[in-house]
């Protein structure tokens, strides 16, 4: 066995120590066959201790009873918390250069990641259902770790990395800890182009700060003019929608900051991160459903030709049921289906819905993009109705018409903006290592509050007139809005 390891490791490993991009497909296929041969051989070793150390391979075979904990080659630590059946033997082989020879393709045949830990082969004579592996990372600048094992059956026998039965436990600056429910050859895959860079963080935090400040100003203005907008039902309901849109985004932004704070350490606390994700998901959905409520109000008041219909209380009840009731149902269903499987939140990065395992993020993306589509259809219908009535209906109340125009203009700007923002959000999932997509998404996502302030409040002439009478110039400098308003 010693001669085999010495001979084979010198043939396959040292000469390829720098060949991740230069190894031929044949070399990579042979390395997979070599690894499988070693797995087969270790299963047939006699039950006695062994210690073999070559320039490229370290083999240790040792006996243990109920638990096992050891470090190998200063590159991987293995723990077995519980095992049954009396004395057993465990065989561990660590490869110093196999990470440069085996291809980094995963079960989807993607080669975007790189192997960022030693390849380690683990076999045991007993039955083991849980093993913990802590890898020292080769490159500490990489992110997005995946715990994987080499699956020899993938791609018609060529083999590939598979994450089945393995879970990420924690990640620090220098180590990644995984748990797996079977024994074979393990390692970790990580992203060479992490979107979590300083520029992205700077854009996100500055943008969120601007968003929060804008939303606070928006709510202050709405509070000051609240009594004056109650005279007209449509105007009143429009401002109710804007206030709830602003409140929802403001609370979501605050929870985002809380989530960033608790996930910035070495290991994010699962209960706290789950709670943060729940509230971020709920209030982001509430933002979109209140946008839908605004669109339905616009459609109803346009189609009804200002006739007497639903009362103010009825429309408020519908608005709050839609704005907060629907998001609550979606969020509760999402966490109920995924939380017990530990697939509600993402395993790495900040506190947000999981994508890799359960696709829980779709519980936000699908409703949000559907609302964007519905509002765009509503805008087309309303525009058609308004153009037809312009020449026919001259007796419509001026205040009512003004409120409808403001709602239409607000939706016409915010709906495409939110659609673009979360379209880019889908893009970050489709091309997770495209830095430009991540930066664009962070920019548009974090500045949504500013656009709500400008297009939902400040571009309304009646709002500006009311704020002028209330001497709010000291809160926000509004004189330039008159020039901006000429463009709309």
Q: What is the CATH number of the domain that holds 327?
A: 1.20.1070.10
Closest CA to 129 of 87, 80, 172: 80
Q: What is the arithmetic mean of pLDDT over 418-422?
A: 80
**Are 306 and 329 within one domain?**
yes
Residue-wise pLDDT tens digits, 232-260: 677 788 889 999 999 999 999 999 899 88
Residue-wise pLDDT tens digits, 201-238: 788 888 888 899 999 999 998 888 887 766 667 778 88
**Are 63 and 104 within one domain?**
yes
Residue-wise pLDDT tens digits, 351-399: 888 877 788 989 998 999 899 899 889 888 888 877 776 544 444 456 6
**Are 163 and 291 within one domain?**
no
Distance CA 456, CA 474 (A): 20
**Are 166 and 263 within one domain?**
no
**Are 142 and 265 within one domain?**
no
**Are 241 and 122 within one domain?**
no
Contact 193, 435 (CB under 8 A): yes
Identify the pLDDT of residue 248. Answer: 96
For 272-307, b where at least 16 C-beta lie within 10 A, e where not — what string? ebbbbbbbbbbbbbbbbbbbbbbbbbbbbbbeeebe
Residue that terminates a domain, selected from 191, 223, 256: 191
**pLDDT of 42 over the 90 cut:** no
Please count the structural domains in the chain: 2
**DSSP state at residue 162:** E
Distance CA 218, CA 450 (A): 9
Helix (H, G, I), strand (E, B) or coil at 179: strand
Helix (H, G, I), strand (E, B) or coil at 418: helix
Residue-wise pLDDT tens digits, 451-462: 888 888 888 777
Distance CA 439, CA 419 (A): 16
Identify the pLDDT of residue 333. Answer: 97
**Are 313 and 346 within one domain?**
yes
Task: Provide the 10 A C-beta neighbour count for residue 341.
Answer: 11
pLDDT band for 196, please (50, 70, 90 cuts).
Answer: low
**pLDDT of 485 over the 60 cut:** no
**Are 374 and 457 within one domain?**
yes
Residue that terminates a domain, selected from 151, 166, 191: 191
Residue-wise pLDDT tens digits, 303-343: 765 455 677 788 899 999 999 999 999 999 999 999 888 88
**Are 376 and 472 within one domain?**
yes
Q: Per-residue DSSP letters for 188-253?
A: EEEESS-S--HHHHHHHHHHHHHHHHHHHHHHHHHHHTGGGGGGSHHHHHHHHHHHHHHHHHHHHH
**Are 202 and 187 within one domain?**
no
Q: Which residues contact 249 (CB under 8 A, 6 or more apart)?
A: 211, 215, 283, 284, 287, 448, 449, 452
Contact 264, 173 (CB under 8 A): no
Q: Per-residue DSSP letters for 68-125?
A: EEEEETTTEEEEE----SSSEEEEEEEESSGGGTS---BTT----SEE-S-EEEEEES
**Are 255 and 166 within one domain?**
no
pLDDT band for 283, please (50, 70, 90 cuts).
Answer: very high
**Are 320 and 422 within one domain?**
yes
**Containing structural domain, residue 262:** 198-485
pTM given for the model: 0.64
Length of the chain: 488
Q: What is the CATH number of the domain that holds 141?
A: 2.60.220.50
Residue that terminates a domain, selected from 133, 161, 191: 191
Tokens 């959000």 belong to which residue? Answer: 425
Pairing of strands 143-151, 185-191: antiparallel
Pairing of strands 131-136, 119-124: unpaired
Q: What is the token pair recorded at 93?
A: 């082989």
Q: The sheet that has 166-171: what strands, in order across it?
A: 68-72, 76-80, 131-136, 175-180, 166-171
């Amino acid at each position: 066995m010693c001669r085999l390891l010495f001979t084979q490791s010198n043939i396959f490993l040292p000469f390829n120590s720098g060949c991740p991009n230069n190894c031929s497909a044949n070399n990579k296929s042979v390395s997979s066959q070599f690894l499988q041969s070693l797995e087969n051989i270790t299963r047939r070793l006699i039950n006695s201790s062994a210690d073999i150390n070559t320039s490229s391979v370290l083999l240790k075979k040792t006996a243990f009873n109920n638990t096992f904990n050891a470090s190998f080659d200063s590159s991987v630590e293995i723990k077995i918390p519980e095992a049954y059946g009396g004395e057993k033997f465990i065989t561990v082989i660590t490869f110093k250069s196999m990470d440069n020879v085996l291809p980094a393709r995963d079960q989807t045949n993607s080669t975007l990641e790189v192997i960022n830990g030693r390849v380690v082969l683990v076999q045991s004579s007993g039955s083991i259902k849980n093993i913990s592996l802590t890898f020292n990372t080769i490159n500490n600048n990489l992110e997005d770790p995946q715990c994987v094992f080499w699956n020899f059956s993938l791609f018609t026998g060529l083999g590939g990395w598979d994450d089945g039965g393995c879970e990420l436990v924690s990640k620090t600056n220098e180590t990644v800890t995984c748990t797996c429910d079977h024994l074979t050859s393990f390692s970790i895959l990580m992203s060479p182009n992490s979107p979590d860079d300083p520029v992205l963080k700077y854009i996100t935090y500055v943008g969120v700060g601007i968003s929060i400040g804008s939303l606070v100003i928006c709510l202050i203005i709405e509070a000051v003019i609240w009594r004056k907008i109650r005279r007209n039902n449509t105007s009143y309901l429009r401002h109710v929608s804007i206030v709830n849109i602003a409140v929802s985004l403001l609370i979501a932004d605050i929870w985002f900051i809380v989530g960033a704070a608790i996930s910035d350490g070495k290991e994010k606390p699962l209960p706290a991160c789950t709670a943060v994700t729940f509230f971020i998901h709920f209030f982001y959905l509430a933002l979109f459903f209140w946008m839908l409520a605004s669109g339905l109000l616009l459609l109803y008041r346009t189609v009804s030709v200002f006739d007497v219909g639903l009362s103010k209380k009825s429309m408020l009840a519908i608005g709050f049921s839609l704005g907060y009731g629907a998001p609550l149902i979606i969020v509760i269903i999402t966490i109920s289906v995924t939380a017990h499987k530990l697939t509600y939140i993402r395993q790495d990065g900040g506190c947000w819905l999981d994508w890799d395992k359960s696709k829980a993020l779709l519980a936000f993306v699908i409703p949000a993009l559907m609302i964007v589509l519905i509002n765009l259809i509503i805008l087309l219908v309303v525009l058609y109705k308004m153009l037809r009535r312009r020449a026919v209906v001259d007796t419509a109340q001026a205040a009512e018409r003004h409120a409808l125009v403001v709602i239409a203009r607000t939706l016409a700007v915010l709906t495409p903006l939110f659609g673009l923002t979360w379209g880019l959000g889908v893009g970050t999932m489709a091309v997770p290592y495209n830095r430009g997509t991540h930066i664009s998404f962070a920019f548009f996502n974090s500045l949504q509050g500013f656009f709500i302030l400008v297009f939902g409040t400040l571009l309304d002439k009646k709002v500006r007139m009311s704020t002028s009478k209330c001497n709010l110039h000291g809160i926000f400098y509004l004189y330039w809005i008159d020039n901006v308003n000429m463009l709309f």
